[in-house]
Amino acid sequence: MNKALLAHFYAVKHWDIPDGFLCPPVPGRADYIHHLADLLAGDSGEVPKDATILDIGTGANLIYPLIGAHEYGWRFTGSEINPQAFASAQAGLSMATRA
């Protein structure tokens, strides 16, 4: 389901995570991203296009960076201590938006 939602709503062409890793449901994570946009917009109501977000514990799935970059053009810096999750995230990043 997540793979289909990412492809349909966020233009992610290729997405996969290794066995044994979990991915939270995309709609809930999109809600968090939109809430963050509201917080960053503040009283002005304008969502900053040049925001840089730190995603602590990015995991193997890159959900926040994929959604935030697509929806708002934000840049993300991810941190991850699990070597397999890190490798998967790096591979996923290079494949996510390829045609």
Within 10 A of 51 (CB to CB), how many other CB atoms are there?
Answer: 15
Strands 75-79 and 52-56: parallel
Residue 92 has pLDDT above 90, yes or no: no
For the stretch 8-31, pLDDT in tens is: 999 888 888 899 998 899 999 999
> Which residues, 6+ apart, have CB-to-CB distance to 40 below 8 Å?
47, 48, 51
- 7 SS3 class: helix
Place of tokens 């397999």: 84
57-87 tens-digit pLDDT: 999 999 999 999 999 999 999 999 999 999 9
Q: All domains of the chain, ordered by start, with CATH?
A: 2-95 (3.40.50.150)
pTM (2 decimals)?
0.89
Question: What is the pLDDT at residue 26?
Answer: 95
Mean pLDDT of the chain, nearest integer: 91
